[in-house]
Structure 1
Amino acid sequence: MLNRKKKSKLHNLFLRLLRSKTGFVGLLIVLAMTGMAVFAPILAMYDPAKTDIMHRLIPPFWLEGGTKDFPLGTDNLGRDVLSRIIYGSRISLLVGISAVILAGFLGIIFGLIAGYYGYIWDFIIMRTVDSFLAIPNILFMLIILAVLGPSVTTLILVLGGTSWVVYARMVRSETLSVKERDFVRSAKAIGAKDYRIIVKYILPNVISSFIVIATLNVASTIILEASLSFLGLGIQSPDVSWGLMLSDGREYIATSWWVATFPGVAITVTVLGVIFLGDWLRDVLDPKLID
């Protein structure tokens, strides 16, 4: 009986997805970008870090001087733009998703503690949140990255460690509401332990809001990674990300526009896909909109 109910719910979600044009398009974009990142060694025609000065700044194949050997052209060092975009999806998605997972993990834990226990725990955690919010995120990131030095791991830690406050505030607010409901009071009355109440009764009721916010924040984190890489404080060569490609191509935007344009298109399409999918999840997981 339970399996039938689960299958029915999944079937209804799938039907909702099909009815939502933007949600379906968003899912296709996210799956395509994820597939591109996973199968990058198979899809890419060239080593993204290999330079070839003899083939520098070749235009895309449909322009005069272009060739199908380099469908989207080459950059100032003769590296294939398409191969670099394919490999760049790996780091851009890795940083975006990993940072959100880290931030979400911290935000859920601190939000649940602040909302459930209150008093001194709530005061300490929320004053810490206020302190983080008082400092502009980008300034905080620039300072930490300048001190620690840019790397993929550092970038994930910085992005995740500075954005957990959003989740903490949301989870705390939801927890304050849920813990006053009858089923939580009943669990306390029969002597259920705090961790059991939090995990079994409160967390499932706040997780849907978290999923929606986390999905949308993946898009903003990808943009932040690209911005930091563009400024030279993110991903460094020989690694490749879309933001680093934008930085490399900015000097050639007037003469060789494709070097910076195609990575920018990749960022735009990916961010739109994640936003579309996040909007659909918001509509599906909002209790007021569920049939």
Structure 2
Amino acid sequence: MSVSAETSSPAALAVAPQASPRKQERLKRGLRKLVRSKTGLIGAVLLLLIVGVALFAPWIAPHSPGKTNVSVKLLPPMWMSEGTAMYPLGTDNLGRDLLSRLVYGSRVSLIVGLCSVALSGLIGLVLGLLSGFYGGWIDHLIMRVVDAFLAIPTILFMLLIMSILGPGLGTLIFVIGITGWVSYARMVRSEVLSIRERDYVRSSRAVGARNLRILFVHILPNVFSSFIVISTLNVAGVIISEASLSFMGLGIQPPDVSWGGMLSEGRQYLATSWWVATFPGIAITITVLAIIFLGDWLRDTLDPKLK
């Protein structure tokens, strides 16, 4: 009776909530590191601004992104001699406001980036866990599929599938997602091969823990930090892939707006109306750099090999 009373006492039960303060302390420590990291802080601020612009696009954009007005086509930015404050960044060959199209184009880039990375990351995480943990013929089969994907240039594979399925937002997310899982699978597999031989995993096996419990309770949390880092960095690559496919006419189709599509439309006016293609290129560059800066900070913070 005395043992039962001791274990059910408030002092004993107070031990359980200690995990929450530890998480809060880790979060505070991570935020302090972010503030001290100039590139990480710049990346976080820029990315928050881009996400805010995408979320509040209808209230930020001064015009409808698809509204045409040929009487003001190829109007220069407002600081040039023929520019006007009504179109701060000028207009394109159909008289559409470039600022409004850039604002709405941020939505497409972020949606494609996040959804494609989520799809490819999920596929790669599952296959990497299975390959590294079980080994044998499962590992051999998955690695041969990985070798087959690596043997084909990714952009050619994307072009082939897009030409078969046709362009569109859903198709673009699917194509980038199923072609980008290889890097996740290889990274997760290498981590699992190391972790599965550690003492706590062997101890779990010795006491009769099931494979699924070992996999998801003991191994997955230890590879998740590396998975988050590579996912963040891959968002930048996906945005570039989306822009490349849209530039070639196989990505986002009108009336939807994408930065790659804007680049494609403005390339023929570079000599006379440089702003039509320059501003979408700047938007892509800033977004990619922001994600890379934030990804580098995450790597320095979460990767145990760098601590």
TM class, shorter-length? over 0.9
Kindly indicate whether residue 94 of structure 2 is the aligned counterpart of residue 92 of structure 1: no
CA distance in 1, matches of 2:56, 2:28: 29
Match of 1:188 in 2: 205
> Matches of residues 88-127 of structure 1 in structure 2 within 5 Å?
88-127=105-144
> TM-score normalised to the size of structure 2?
0.93
> Matches of residues 68-79 of structure 1 in structure 2 within 5 Å?
68-79=85-96
Match of 2:251 in 1: 234
Aligned mate of 1:267, from 276, 284, 287: 284
Aligned mate of 2:183, from 132, 155, 166: 166
Kindly indicate whether residue 170 of structure 2 is the aligned counterpart of residue 153 of structure 1: yes
How far off is 1:3 after superposition?
A: 2.2
CA distance in 1, matches of 2:250, 2:23: 46
Kindly indicate whether residue 62 of structure 2 is the aligned counterpart of residue 45 of structure 1: yes
Give CA-to-partner distance per residue, 1:74-130, whole Å, 9 cap, x none: 000010000000000000111011111100000000000011111110011110000
SS in 1 for 2:180: helix
SS in 1 for 2:85: coil
CA distance in 2, matches of 1:165, 1:286: 20
How far off is 1:289 after superposition?
A: 3.8
CA distance in 2, matches of 1:245, 1:252: 11
How far off is 1:40 after superposition?
A: 0.6
Aligned mate of 1:216, from 233, 245, 254: 233
SS in 2 for 1:57: coil
Identity of aligned residues (%): 61
User: Quick one: which amino acid aligns to residue 260 of structure 2?
Assistant: G
Match of 1:178 in 2: 195
Match of 2:99 in 1: 82
How far off is 1:288 after superposition?
A: 3.9
CA distance in 1, matches of 2:202, 2:119: 31
CA distance in 2, matches of 1:143, 1:185: 46
How far off is 1:2 after superposition?
A: 2.2
CA distance in 2, matches of 1:139, 1:9: 43
CA distance in 2, matches of 1:7, 1:118: 37
User: Quick one: which amino acid aligns to residue 290 of structure 2?
Assistant: G
Kindly indicate whether residue 46 of structure 2 is the aligned counterpart of residue 29 of structure 1: yes
Kindly indicate whether residue 147 of structure 2 is the aligned counterpart of residue 137 of structure 1: no
How far off is 1:166 after superposition?
A: 0.6
Match of 2:9 in 1: none
CA distance in 2, matches of 1:194, 1:288: 26
CA distance in 2, matches of 1:251, 1:54: 20
CA distance in 2, matches of 1:286, 1:92: 27
User: Quick one: which amino acid aligns to residue 102 of structure 1?
Assistant: L
Q: How many residues are treated as equivalent by the alignment? A: 290
| Larger Rg, first or second structure (1 or 2) | 2
RMSD of equivalent CA atoms: 0.8
5+ residue gaps, structure 2, are 1-17
User: Quick one: which amino acid aligns to residue 82 of structure 1?
Assistant: L
User: Quick one: which amino acid aligns to residue 113 of structure 2?
Assistant: G
> TM-score normalised to the size of structure 1?
0.98
5+ residue gaps, structure 1, are none
Match of 1:253 in 2: 270
CA distance in 2, matches of 1:77, 1:127: 49
